[in-house]
């Protein structure tokens, strides 16, 4: 008997390919791999005999009822697509919504005899269809025999019957194959697989029992059917907007959305549940963790992709992802939100894009954003680590929440922008808007995180020499200043701040914050005495390249003279609030008589800030100081979102389907310097696919004109949307409205 | 002005390295990268001047108080480690628990003068320490000046002071650096960085305000301090057990646990919150998604690693991961649970390993496990996809849940075994045990999933020819049959089933299930009529290699004669319930007179099953059939966990610290055939590090003996634990208890 002793801890064997041990290691783990692909399918046998062959083998299954044809009734103008609100989809397949009857016509080799003929229409989805899992569904024409999907014969004419089929209201959403099976005493005979009989089943906001039911026709028209959107950005007191083509009905977009779920390996059986679908999608829309759709890039360098500010719509992004099967470059928050919006509307989940002004971020349920001053009252940029986004975009989608107690259904926040912290993964939501408003942040998913985005306090600390810090001012109204979305049925904006929070200073607001704290949110309790000198910065509307003046108004509310040592700093910031270069610094000493007002005027020359501009050209002014007499701290902040030159888009106000039209885009370089490597993009829902033009250089003061011919595909009011983008000038857009008649 | 038009959709640029865009793309995204490493550190300057240099430059900071030495009072027998329950750690660093005072001795160059001398003891953790984030903490000796950590001078002798320091009760858990800083009028002077002054701060179950406070000394002794554990497996009616060495105090284990959090890039600031720590760890313990600690393998082929059944403890696994920085092969559920248990106890979070018998799995909040019979009543293995684990192991850890409403603190379920579905990531929990018991599955994390593991129904369907299925029998008591853990302070088992569910059939139980359904769990509502023939299979205690008989007892409760066409199938199953080969099949017809009992005897010869045995040698018998007279379905199931031969471990009952002893492991091959490639492993907490021996072959009937010398390191009762493992025979273990005196 041999045996040799050895010191232990064998060197670790080679690890499996990142995060994915070879499937074989699961052999004893599960009976079958989980079915997580809508594209993989298993064909059904044409003939299935019952029992064992008799002495003479199997009898032929002829002489029974036979199918000679199936009509899916799938033309856009036919009953199915009209009644199911799917006529706009550019697809040659039947697309219907669950919980609502659709009709197919089946033609037999002879008249159908209800008494003796037995047949079933079968629907299958995924690679291992199972009746008990709802991925294999036979539908019967007779009252006596019914499965989970209801079937009935609507009409019989000669050899053709019209069959009405109602998919279960909570059935799996995706692409199904359809078969017709005739049941004989000896076995089952089936139609052969035929792609033209495939059909898509979507969520149904029009049906009461669907978990995405939305009982408001105008909201449905906007949040499911509308392809044209507006996304708000800029500053809360100087709002900017841009159009977006969601294009949820464009050719290939629906397949791309199903591919996203396949790519995420989401189990087929979960795909009827909007909670699971939206949560999974919020992770898949960004490329972190899971090779998702969009690569985030906030660096200012977009050489190897499309600049986030340059996109005009979602379709280009989704189709590229589906065809290349690689993440698309690049995105920032509004691109994530816009593409997510397309995904949701395409599948039939009502959704809208939200903009939250002054959004607290990455602070993981902590309700404090810290700004640190040295003990002279000057901001300490090295120690100030938190940033407040000038604005942040996310989505709301509408659904019931059976997983929560009553009262938290309705609009739910989902956010696909990769966050540093959301339960350890780059995804967020769905979180009930109503739960956020009432501070019930104990419910899934990520409610505490979203609550902080709209409710954090800005705390100014004074840091003393020994490293400790005292809070000297708390601003409880800065964050979550304004929440906007597009008005249903109009091209105007809608203030929905009151859906997120009670008015500042009300009892309800205080109660909500207390409740949130019970659930572990940390707030700063200190209540430092308010300085008796008020400082306000004006709201300015400035265009890129303007020189301007900024007037600081000091009001002394005390009966004594006050002397304030001020530090006024102007920096260029990303929309994320991250500062780059300081282009202005002043440290005046301001003397204010008792109950007097003093104005301090500061001149800002464009040449000082122009060379530092990044991204969307935001100037951030922060004025802090200390009152000599009292040691109190005085602070004020202001973000100036510089206005970009407009892109002129011209198109004749009306047009006809299939009659050629022309769109004209014009732009003049307002600067003395030239713009280089300029991309101009243009597209229009129902008008033209995304197009772009590249201009190597646009000399200072010169103009460009781009005329593009296009042919409208369908009637209705729509828009031509255009953007211009280059390193020196981002977020330039324009649009024109056109009404197309049939 | 040049410009050329181009069709759009540029080919997608190369994607970023999987899921991780280059950090630069975040430049404008956050001010600083999130601090997520406890190993990276930023050294503090030795001298920090205040303000700007004067005309003659900076004054020298000499002539002030100076530090000549620091004593961390870190010997195992000294006050700190004794009072903080950390004396067992094999470490030369100071290890303390938060919310409780520890002491350090500081020696100055002269006597300390409280009136004029100013100094602070500074603690820093991570690479970007910030006061406001709790990662930089100065501690002051004076009442007037206090930071978040309390400091006081306990004693002064000559030039040496003893300072008492109490870390905040919710402070970050991990490894801190300590500095002593003297404050002069001109600046700060610091001790140089010195690793010997590093200290670890852990969770503190002994202190009332710590969120992991556990008010039961015996539970604390077991769930924090005990290194020896018992893990239960086998079958609910024939329980087997094995010992495990958690080894949470072994040299290097604490560092390995901190490395796991670093590897997961968990933000330092989250590491004081046991909810976030346990959730993150449940993801990191398995290698899916995130290159975590253990690679799961259920294939039966463990050639490239250590077989899951072969491990004797956690330390070998953790140390290998920390040194190789690669996932360790291989694990199954009890290995995940045992290593997770080490992680939790090491950091000071009370925890225990749980075994749930007949655990429903991978069915994502759906409360049904489907077994499908053809219309003769014979099981249809192709269509039966769900599997019920004979047992499944997870962990419970003890903590308050401030993120939930009152009443859901206490024991929380966490599970590191990769699940097919847990919110889309391979992790699970923490889920409140109390929430599971009362059906409040709306609260995070993964409560619905765990609820299904202990509450699912087994539904037998009869599948008719046309593909539809009728439920014919529902077994509501099979799943979650028994929940076990080790008894605190004893080597016996403890039934805690009543902590997970109310007794079967009580009103409370029904109410709970209804509540769970309100939150979206799906149950089978059908209540098929119960057959009037009862069938029971006996409980058997069989050893591997035995021939045995199985007696099926049929009881006819009706007043008429009954004829049952039975199908009796015996298969070999993994502990996951996945079946491999059918080694036995019978289809007797059983005639039972009115109100009579009939016994059907089935002989099982070992040669039939031996060659098919996998893993832990479980035989699964399922008997199904149809009553001719009534068409009712009769079913019964039984798992027989074959008993393995024992490994004999011998060691003298008592020993002395530092006096050599010998442990003897003996095994006899009970089979006629030889066992090949056999590994025998042995270790003992406080006795010996893991060791193994390899035997190329053990001929049938032959024995092996392995004697190993070892030197006990500390007093107390402990065990020598040994396993034997080879492809033909797994889960063979043995142990011996020994009491070591000082």
CA distance B254 to B256: 5
Q: Select B47-202's CATH number: 1.10.3720.10, 2.60.40.10, 3.40.710.10, 3.30.300.90.
A: 2.60.40.10
DSSP state for residue A115 in the 8-state scheme: T
Buried b (16+ CB within 10 A) or exposed e, A62-72: eebbebeebeb
Spot the catalytic one: A273, A290, A386, A415. Answer: A415
By 3-state DSSP, what share of chain B in percent is helix, strand and coil, each rounded to 5? 15, 40, 45
Strands A351-360 and A482-486: antiparallel
CA distance A135 to A274: 17
Which residues of A are annotated as part of the binding site for Ca(2+)? 455, 457, 504, 509
CA distance A234 to A544: 13
Residue B208: count of CB within 10 angstroms of its CB: 9
Q: What is the mean pLDDT of residues B193-214?
A: 96
Question: For chain B, give me the number of helices (H) and strands (E)?
Answer: 11, 41
Residue A71 is a catalytic residue = no
CB of B612 closer than 8 Å to CB of B698: no
B-interface mutation test, from A4, A28, A247, most B Cβ less than 10 A away: A28
DSSP A24-86: GGGTTT-SS-----SS---PPPSEEE-SS-BTTBPPP--SS--EEEEE----TTSHHHHHTT-
Q: How far is CA A360 from CA A363, A393, A413, A423, A451, in A?
A: 7, 12, 15, 17, 9
Of the partner residues A136, A264, A386, the one whose CB lies closest to the CB of residue B467: A136
CA distance A260 to A320: 12
Nearest to A591 by CA among A556, A631, A551, A544: A556
CATH classification (class only), A533-641? mainly beta
Yes or no, beta carbons of A267 and B30 under 8 Å apart: no
CA distance A617 to B620: 70
Task: Give the distance from residue A653's alpha carbon to the nearest chain B alpha carbon, in angstroms.
Answer: 25
Residue A415 is a catalytic residue = yes
CA distance A243 to A234: 14
> How is residue A102 written in tokens?
């659709």
Of the partner residues A28, A387, A615, the one whose CB lies closest to the CB of residue B299: A28
Does pLDDT of A59 surpass 80?
Answer: no
pLDDT tens digits for A150-187? 999 999 999 999 999 999 999 999 999 999 999 887 88
Of the partner residues B421, B696, B704, the one whose CB lies closest to the CB of residue A267: B421
Chain A residue with Cα closest to B181 = A466
- Mapping DSSP onto H, E and C, the string for B360-403 reads ECCCCCECEEEEEECCCCCECCCCCCCCEEEEEEEEEEEECCCC
Chain B residue with Cα closest to A294 = B15
Does pLDDT of B584 surpass 60?
Answer: yes
CA distance B9 to B223: 59
> How is residue B447 written in tokens?
């409560």
Yes or no, beta carbons of A519 and B330 under 8 Å apart: no
Which residues of A are annotated as part of the binding site? 455, 457, 504, 509
Q: How far is CA A81 from CA A86, A87, A100, A716, B166, in A?
A: 5, 5, 12, 18, 70
Chain A residue with Cα closest to B360 = A30
Q: What is the mean pLDDT of residues A201-230?
A: 97
pLDDT tens digits for A652-693? 999 999 999 999 999 999 988 899 999 999 999 999 999 999
Spot the catalytic one: B415, B446, B524, B725. Answer: B415
pLDDT tens digits for A404-418? 999 999 999 999 998
Q: How confident is the model at residue A54 (pLDDT cuts 50, 70, 90)?
A: low
Residue numbers in A near B25 (CB within 8 A): 295-299, 330
The alpha-carbon radius of gyration of chain B (Å, integer) is: 31
Does pLDDT of A353 surpass 90?
Answer: yes
For residue B185, give every residue at least 6 positions away whose Cβ sits within 8 Å of its Cβ, in sequence order, or none. none
- Mapping DSSP onto H, E and C, the string for B410-430 reads EEEEECCCCCCCCCCCCCCCC
Of the partner residues B19, B21, B681, the one whose CB lies closest to the CB of residue A290: B19
Q: What is the pLDDT of residue B605?
A: 92
Chain B residue with Cα closest to A149 = B468
DSSP A141-179: SSSSS--SSEEEEEEEETTEEEEEEE--TTPPPEEEEEE
Q: What is the pLDDT of residue B9?
A: 35
Q: How confident is the model at residue A420 (pLDDT cuts 50, 70, 90)?
A: low
Please state, rounded to an integer, the average pLDDT across all residues of chain B. 89
Q: How confident is the model at residue B7 (pLDDT cuts 50, 70, 90)?
A: very low
Spot the catalytic one: A392, A438, A440, A620. Answer: A392
> How is residue A595 written in tokens?
């109950």
Instruction: Pick from A581-595, B23-37, B341-355 the range whose average pLDDT is largest.
Output: B341-355
Q: What is the mean pLDDT of residues A349-367?
A: 85
Helix H or strand E encompassing B275: helix B274-284
Q: What is the pLDDT of residue A52?
A: 62
Does pLDDT of B135 surpass 50?
Answer: yes
CA distance A448 to B341: 29
B-interface mutation test, from A306, A468, A700, most B Cβ less than 10 A away: A468
Question: For helices B333-347 and B253-263, what crossing angle results, to 10°?
Answer: 100
- Mapping DSSP onto H, E and C, the string for B167-236 reads CCCCCCCEEEEEEEEEECCCEEEECCCCHHHCEEEECCCCCCCCCCCCCCHHHHHHHHHCCEEEEEEEEC
Q: What is the pLDDT of residue A53?
A: 65
Q: How confident is the model at residue A21 (pLDDT cuts 50, 70, 90)?
A: very low
DSSP state for residue B132 in the 8-state scheme: G
Under DSSP, is residue B649 helix (H, G, I), strand (E, B) or coil?
A: strand
Q: What is the mean pLDDT of residues B462-467?
A: 82
Residue numbers in A near B299 (CB within 8 A): 24-28
Nearest to B163 by CA among B178, B177, B174: B178
pTM of structure = 0.90
Q: How confident is the model at residue A16 (pLDDT cuts 50, 70, 90)?
A: very low
Q: What is the pLDDT of residue B6?
A: 37
CB pairs under 8 A between A and B: 357
Yes or no, beta carbons of B30 and A362 under 8 Å apart: yes
Residue numbers in A near B329 (CB within 8 A): 12-13
Q: What is the pLDDT of residue A44?
A: 77
For residue A99, give every residue at least 6 positions away whose Cβ sits within 8 Å of its Cβ, in sequence order, or none. A166, A167, A168, A169, A170, A204, A207, A209, A210
Does pLDDT of A78 surpass 90?
Answer: yes
Give the dihedral sign, CA B258/B261/B263/B265. negative
pLDDT tens digits for B405-444? 999 999 999 999 987 544 455 778 899 999 999 999 999 9
Residue numbers in A near B468 (CB within 8 A): 131, 138, 145, 147
Residue numbers in A near B706 (CB within 8 A): 3, 5
Of the partner residues A8, A27, A706, the one whose CB lies closest to the CB of residue B300: A27
- Mapping DSSP onto H, E and C, the string for A176-237 reads EEEEEEEECCCEEEECCCCHHHCEEEECCCCCCCCCCCCCCHHHHHHHHHCCEEEEEEEECC
Yes or no, beta carbons of B291 and A15 under 8 Å apart: yes
Q: What is the mean pLDDT of residues B167-179?
A: 97
Spot the catalytic one: B333, B393, B521, B726. Answer: B333
Yes or no, beta carbons of A12 and B327 under 8 Å apart: yes
Task: Give the distance from residue B51's alpha carbon to the nearest chain A alpha carbon, in angstroms.
Answer: 10
Q: What is the pLDDT of residue B199?
A: 96
pLDDT tens digits for B521-564? 888 888 888 899 999 999 999 998 899 999 999 999 999 999 99
Does pLDDT of A229 surpass 60?
Answer: yes
Does pLDDT of B3 surpass 60?
Answer: no
pLDDT tens digits for B627-649? 999 999 999 999 999 998 999 99
Does pLDDT of B652 surpass 50?
Answer: yes
Query: Is pLDDT larger for residue B554 or for residue A519?
Result: B554
Chain A residue with Cα closest to B319 = A9
Task: Give the distance from residue B713's alpha carbon to the nearest chain A alpha carbon, in angstroms.
Answer: 19
Yes or no, beta carbons of A443 and B445 under 8 Å apart: no
Query: Is pLDDT larger for residue A293 or for residue A428?
Result: A293
Of the partner residues A1, A28, A469, the one whose CB lies closest to the CB of residue B131: A469
Residue numbers in B near A319 (CB within 8 A): 9
pLDDT tens digits for A579-617? 888 899 999 999 999 999 999 999 999 988 888 887 778
Q: What is the mean pLDDT of residues A705-720?
A: 95
Does pLDDT of B1 surpass 60?
Answer: no
**Residue/partner pairs of A492-499 with CB below 8 Å, 24 or more apart:** A493/A230, A493/A232, A493/A239, A493/A241, A496/A354, A499/A411, A499/A433, A499/A437
Could you please state the CATH topology (level 3) that the domain comprising A648-741 is classified under. Immunoglobulin-like (2.60.40)
Q: What is the mean pLDDT of residues A412-434?
A: 80
Nearest to A678 by CA among A729, A713, A607: A729
Q: What is the mean pLDDT of residues B122-128?
A: 92
**Residue/partner pairs of A73-78 with CB below 8 Å, 24 or more apart:** A73/A102, A73/A103, A73/A104, A73/A105, A74/A199
Nearest to A376 by CA among A562, A632, A570, A625: A625
Q: What is the pLDDT of residue A5?
A: 41
Helix H or strand E encompassing B500: helix B497-500
Q: What is the pLDDT of residue B4?
A: 43
CB of A667 closer than 8 Å to CB of A732: yes
DSSP B58-84: PPP--SS--EEEEE----TTSHHHHHT
Q: How far is CA B435 from CA B213, B275, B344, in A?
A: 19, 15, 22
B504 marked ligand binding residue: yes
Spot the catalytic one: A257, A333, A346, A726. Answer: A333
Task: Give the distance from residue A596's alpha carbon to the nearest chain B alpha carbon, in angstroms.
Answer: 33
Does pLDDT of A427 surpass 90?
Answer: no
Query: Is pLDDT larger for residue A200 or for residue A56?
Result: A200
CA distance A377 to A365: 28
Residue numbers in A near B364 (CB within 8 A): 267, 269-270
For residue A18, give every residue at least 6 positions away whose Cβ sits within 8 Å of its Cβ, in sequence order, or none. B18, B291
Of the partner residues B132, B442, B445, the one whose CB lies closest to the CB of residue A370: B132
B-interface mutation test, from A181, A186, A320, A403, most B Cβ less than 10 A away: A403
Q: What is the pLDDT of residue B183?
A: 85
Q: What is the pLDDT of residue B425?
A: 57
Q: Which residue matches tokens 């701060």?
A: B201
Under DSSP, is residue B323 helix (H, G, I), strand (E, B) or coil?
A: helix
* Half-sphere exposure (Cβ direction) of B495: Cα atoms closer than 13 Å: 10
Domain ranges of chain A: 47-202, 217-518, 533-641, 648-741
pLDDT tens digits for B569-578? 999 988 888 8
Task: Give the distance from residue B457's alpha carbon to the nearest chain A alpha carbon, in angstroms.
Answer: 14
A-interface mutation test, from B29, B388, B708, most A Cβ less than 10 A away: B29
Question: For chain A, give me the number of helices (H) and strands (E)?
Answer: 11, 41
B406: exposed, middle or buried (Cβ count in 10 Å: 0-12, 13-18, 19+): exposed
Residue B442 is a catalytic residue = no
B-interface mutation test, from A384, A424, A518, A727, most B Cβ less than 10 A away: A424
Of the partner residues B13, B320, B328, the one whose CB lies closest to the CB of residue A305: B13
Q: What is the mean pLDDT of residues B597-625?
A: 89
Task: Give the distance from residue B591's alpha carbon to the nearest chain A alpha carbon, in angstroms.
Answer: 25
B237 phi-psi bin (left φ>0, alpha ψ -120 to 50, beta other): alpha
Does pLDDT of B101 surpass 80?
Answer: yes
Q: What is the pLDDT of residue B20?
A: 40
Which ipTM value was assigned to this complex? 0.84
Residue B243's φ and ψ, nearest 5 degrees, are -85, 160
CATH architecture, range B217-518? Alpha-Beta Complex (3.90)
Q: Do domains B47-202 and B217-518 have the same CATH topology?
A: no
Q: What is the pLDDT of residue A14?
A: 35
For residue A265, give every residue at least 6 positions away whose Cβ sits within 8 Å of its Cβ, in sequence order, or none. A34, A36, A37
Q: What is the mean pLDDT of residues B239-260?
A: 96
Q: How far is CA B213 from CA A517, B148, B206, B394, in A?
A: 21, 20, 6, 21
């Amino acid at each position: 008997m041999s045996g040799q002793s050895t010191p232990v801890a064998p060197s670790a064997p080679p690890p499996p390919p990142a995060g994915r041990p070879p499937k074989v290691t699961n052999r004893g783990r599960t009976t079958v791999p989980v079915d997580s692909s809508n594209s993989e399918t298993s064909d059904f046998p044409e003939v299935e005999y019952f029992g064992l062959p008799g002495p003479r083998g199997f009898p032929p299954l002829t002489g029974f009822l036979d199918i000679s044809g199936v009509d899916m009734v799938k033309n856009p103008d036919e009953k199915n697509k009209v009644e199911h609100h799917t006529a706009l989809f550019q697809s040659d397949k039947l697309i219907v919504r669950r919980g609502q009857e659709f009709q197919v016509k089946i033609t037999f080799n002879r008249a159908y005899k209800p008494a003796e003929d037995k047949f079933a229409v079968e629907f299958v989805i995924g690679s291992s269809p199972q009746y008990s899992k709802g991925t294999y569904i036979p539908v019967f024409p007779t009252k006596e025999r019914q499965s989970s999907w209801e079937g009935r014969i609507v009409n019989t004419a000669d050899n053709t019957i019209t069959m009405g089929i109602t998919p279960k209201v909570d059935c799996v959403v995706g692409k199904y194959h359809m078969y017709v099976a005739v049941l004989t005493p000896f076995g089952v005979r089936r139609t052969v697989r035929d792609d033209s009989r495939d059909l898509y089943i979507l969520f149904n906001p029009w049906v009461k029992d669907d978990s995405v039911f939305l009982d408001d026709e105008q909201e449905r028209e906007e949040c499911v059917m509308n392809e044209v959107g507006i996304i708000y950005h800029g500053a809360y007191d100087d709002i900017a907007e841009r159009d977006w083509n969601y294009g949820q009905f464009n050719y290939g977009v629906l397949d791309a959305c199903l591919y996203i779920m396949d790519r995420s390996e989401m189990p087929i059986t979960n795909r009827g549940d909007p909670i699971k679908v939206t949560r999974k999608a919020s992770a898949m829309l960004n490329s972190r963790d899971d090779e998702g759709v969009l690569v985030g890039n906030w660096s200012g360098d977009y050489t190897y992709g499309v600049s986030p500010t340059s996109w005009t719509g979602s379709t280009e992004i989704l189709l590229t992802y589906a065809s290349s099967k690689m993440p698309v470059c690049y995105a920032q928050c509004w691109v994530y939100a816009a593409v997510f919006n397309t995904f949701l509307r395409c599948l039939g989940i009502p959704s809208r894009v939200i903009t939250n002004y002054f959004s607290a971020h990455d602070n993981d349920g902590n309700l404090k954003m810290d700004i640190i001053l040295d003990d002279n009252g000057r901001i300490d940029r090295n120690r100030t680590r938190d940033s407040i986004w000038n604005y942040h975009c996310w989505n709301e989608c509408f659904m019931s929440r059976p997983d929560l107690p009553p009262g938290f259904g309705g609009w739910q926040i989902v956010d696909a922008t990769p966050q540093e912290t959301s339960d350890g993964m780059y995804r967020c939501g769905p979180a009930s808007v109503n739960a956020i408003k009432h501070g019930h942040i104990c419910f899934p998913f990520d409610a505490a995180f979203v609550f902080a985005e709209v409710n954090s306090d800005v705390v100014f600390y004074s840091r003393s020499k020994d490293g400790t810090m005292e809070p000297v001012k708390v601003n409880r109204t800065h964050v979550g200043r304004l929440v906007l979305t597009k008005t249903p049925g109009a091209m105007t904006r809608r203030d929905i701040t009151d859906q997120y929070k009670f008015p500042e200073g009300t009892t309800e607001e205080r109660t909500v914050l207390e409740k949130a704290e019970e659930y572990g949110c940390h707030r700063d309790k200190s209540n430092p005495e308010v300085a008796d000198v008020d400082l306000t910065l004006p709201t300015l509307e400035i265009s890129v390249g303007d020189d301007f003046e900024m007037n600081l108004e000091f009001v002394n509310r005390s009966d004594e003279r006050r002397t304030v040592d001020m530090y006024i700093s102007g920096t260029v910031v990303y929309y994320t609030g991250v500062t780059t270069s300081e282009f202005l610094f002043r440290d005046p000493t301001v003397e204010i008589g008792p109950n007097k007002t003093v104005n301090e005027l500061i001149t800002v020359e464009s040449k000082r800030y122009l060379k530092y501009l990044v991204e969307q050209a935001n100037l951030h002014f922060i004025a802090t100081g200390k009152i000599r007499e009292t040691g109190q701290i005085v602070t004020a902040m202001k973000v100036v979102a510089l206005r970009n030159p407009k892109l002129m888009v011209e198109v004749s106000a009306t047009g006809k389907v299939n009659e050629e039209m022309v769109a004209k885009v014009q732009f003049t370089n307002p600067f003395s310097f030239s713009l280089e490597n300029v991309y101009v993009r243009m597209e229009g829902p129902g008008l033209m696919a995304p197009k772009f033009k590249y201009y190597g250089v646009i000399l200072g003061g010169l103009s460009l004109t781009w005329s593009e011919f296009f042919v409208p595909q369908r009637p209705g009011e729509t828009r031509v949307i255009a953007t211009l983008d280059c390193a020196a000038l981002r977020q330039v857009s324009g649009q024109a409205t056109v009404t197309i008649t049939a």
